Amino acid sequence: MSCVTAMTDADRQKLAVDFCGLSLATPLVLLSGCVGFGEEYTRVAGFSNHDTGAVCLKGTTLMPRLGNRPHRIAETPAGMLNAIGLQNPGTDYVVNTILPSLDFTETRFIANVSGSTVEEYAEVTRLFDDSPIDAIEINISCPNVKEGGVTFGNDPDMSARVVAACRAVTRKPLITKLSPNQTDIANNARRCIEAGTDAFAVINTLMGMAIDIERRMPVIGNNQGGLSGPAIKPVALLKVHQVYQVCRDHHIPIIGQGGVTSATDAIEFLIAGATSVGVGTALFYDPLVCNKINQGIVEYLDRHGLDSVRQLTGSLTLTAAANSPGAKA
């Protein structure tokens, strides 16, 4: 049974959030790369996009891309490595063929923009601006392509240039997807705010490798890939907390993501500073996990006497002793 039909109107009101002026039915966002272009999971019995606040479409470049050589996926302890390499049919096809087939009454749809140059990011953004897409996510942090992606995302100057170029060609909400593979994520966030981003997605995957010991070669054809799943959740929580310190005074919302598999995980990200919570890898082994997370959040709110999930955002209280002079890490 769909979570939407099982919940009362009061429950739905508790889950509703505002994200960059967009009303989201729940704080859950299905992450780019995990749900194709928004229709794949609708074929699963019991799944409904109504159970989500938004769906991030697969990363899209200006021209079609075939992606990386196989193998592209490898299971790891408490997670998985992927190096798909932004395989996609190109922006024109997505805008003119895929978007018209989506049901925008079900949920919000967010485009994911990628590129190899600042100019490509801007042109893809411009094309999506003239479409029904609700918001645009700038993927400046993909670890699986040889140019662009992490090259931009780990350099605050380049990150700001990409954001500014995209900001100049769209009025739609811009969400900048930040890489954890950088020295000072908070400083990068600050530069992106100055350049015009409206929100952040924190974090993208961590760079990793798996080795076939019999062949003494990497398992992934790209040699390295992006690590996702429960293994990265502690890192993601810290990065959300750090970025929230920059975003709080600017009223910049965050999609917290990285290893969310349960309501407890989602609530942790909200408390750390997220307004919305991304669900990705968990969908591969439990396509109906969003129902369970929504229900778990409502139960938590009821148990703690809270009226809205919005009351959780940034409610973390740090241990005073950890901030005192001389405290050890």
Active site residues: 142
- Please give the structure tokens belonging to residue 93: 């096809």
DSSP H/E element including 85: none
d(Cα 273, Cα 244) in Å, to the nearest integer? 5
| Residue 209 neighbours by CB distance under 10 Å | 15
Distance CA 250, CA 193 (A): 8
Q: Give residues with Cβ within 8 angstroms of 27, minimum separation 6.
A: 15, 17, 53, 266, 270, 274, 275, 276, 277, 297, 309
74 half-sphere exposure, CB direction, 13 A CA radius: 21
CA distance linking residue 48 with residue 290, whole number of Å: 9
CA atoms within 13 A on the CB side of 319: 5
